[in-house]
Amino acid sequence: MFKKSIRGGVHPADHKALSSDCKIRHFPAGEQLHVSLQQHLGAPSTPVVKVGDSVLKGQLIGASQGHISAPVHAPVSGRIVALAEQTAPHPSGLPVLVLTLENDQQHRWAEMDVVADPFALQPEEVCLRVGAAGIVGLGGATFPAAVKLGLSLKTGVDTLILNGGECEPYLTCDDRLMREAADEIIKGALLMQHAVQARQVLIGIEDNKPEALDAMQHAAAGTGIEIRSVPSRYPMGSEKQLVQQLTGKELPAMSRAADSGLVVHNVATARAVYQALFLGRPLISRVVTLSGGAVTHPGNWEVPLGTLASDFLNRASGFDSTPARLIMGGPMMGIQLPNLHVPIIKGSSGILALTEDEIQQKNPSPCVRCSSCIRSCPMGLLPLEMAASIRSGNLKAASQLGLSDCVGCGACSYICPSSIPLTHLFNYAKGEIHTQQKAKQKMEATRVLAQRREVRLERQAREREELMAARRAAAAKKAAAEAEEQTS
């Protein structure tokens, strides 16, 4: 086993004790659920139901659109009462198309397609069923799992890695899943191994989760799956860092793990695969950590997708004090919510209500060039130099310094003694570069269209001239023939 640890990283206070000892409880669905059609990376799903339709629990209500997309299913049985844009769980507060489902409290399931022996299926069929179940990466990236499995099968990966790191502070949903559903995770991992035809399966779990390690090692006994303890150092849960820790391979810049014979999935994704293939159940709920100093009763709940964050927080716990910041996900890489009137989606690993003391927000001061950000960067970048280039408007220089390799982990911002929002600067610069590239592509497309128009107009003018010349020649020939006929 490769022993060398990742470069950089930080040790933020984990605050996991707030919820790590709380068993997963099932959160009852409310009277209405607001199911977003954009719960994954890629094209949003297309509604296949209309207002007034009755639906069953687990029924398809949004079909995948295009290659990179994922379907969505009804989390409860009931009636579609609205199809309209609502606030997205995103700091921009931009709207997304949402299906509002009125819960009939009957829990009537749609017919589930259960396979007697999922391991007897062809690998391609496993991928298709994972896709039909609407499974996406549940670690936060929300990339459609079937697409990732299918690409890995085509490229021929050697190793499947499951990420049980959960390095983000406060979050314990994966920890509890590994403790309470280890058998399901292992069976899901074996199915994913079958789907990609991988030679080996490695599962990395941070060493601050001894109970999860024990449960997973017990469940994996005799399966050939290796459960490995990794150091609890943020951002160990990031794909590139976990791969390096477990295999010693450093993924090249601008490359995918599959290019190095690897594919990485989250442990919660493996459990969802188990439920889809063994139980015929699509992804209609997920485990969510509710935590933070402002929360009265932190814990972990299996929450139906589409549950409003406000409904979840108020019914599951309530507040001890007014939160200073609301976050969906973890405090390092999660998103700050504009309000709580947003639905739980497939990528919602946690809802955090943090107090002023937990945030410890300070006004930025000038950089003292202490190089703490450089030492903490797990990608070996130069955050202070990139930030200086961005502030001066030189995005090209920032790109040359490796801006595209930044994984946005927030370690540099966390460790900075001057409280400079480095990660915010990098995300801003990435957005600006993307906008500039899109504008450049649009200008290039416009130039090509203008050139094609010019060529087309020249061709049409030439064709008109040729047509007129042919007509003149025909008229002259006709006139000559008539004159000859009159002479004779």
Q: What is the pLDDT of residues 190-221, one digit of tens each?
A: 999 999 999 999 999 999 999 999 999 999 99
Q: Parallel, antiparallel, or unpaired for β 226-230 and 200-206?
A: parallel
Confidence at residue 488, expressed as pLDDT on a 0 to 100 scale: 67
CA distances from 151 to 104, 133, 198 (A): 40, 18, 13
Confidence at residue 64, expressed as pLDDT on a 0 to 100 scale: 92
Candidate CATH numbers 1.10.10.10, 3.10.20.440, 3.40.50.11540, 3.30.360.10; the one for domain 114-300: 3.40.50.11540
Nearest to 100 by CA among 118, 129, 117, 79: 79
Question: Could you report the per-residue pLDDT of 270-317, keeping only the tens digit for each?
Answer: 999 999 999 999 999 999 999 999 999 999 999 999 999 999 999 998
SS3 state of residue 291: strand
Give per-10-residue mean pLDDT for the chain (488 aa). 70 93 95 94 92 96 90 97 85 81 95 90 95 93 91 90 95 97 97 96 96 97 96 90 91 83 95 96 97 94 96 90 91 87 93 91 89 93 94 93 91 93 90 88 93 94 92 88 79
Cα angle 415, 421, 427; round to 5? 115
Query: Structure pTM?
Result: 0.87
Q: How far apart are CA 290 and CA 24, in angstroms?
A: 11
pLDDT above 70 as % of the chain: 98
Q: What is the DSSP track for 150-170? A: HHHHHHT-SEEEEEE---SSS
* Domains in the chain: boundaries: 114-300, 372-432
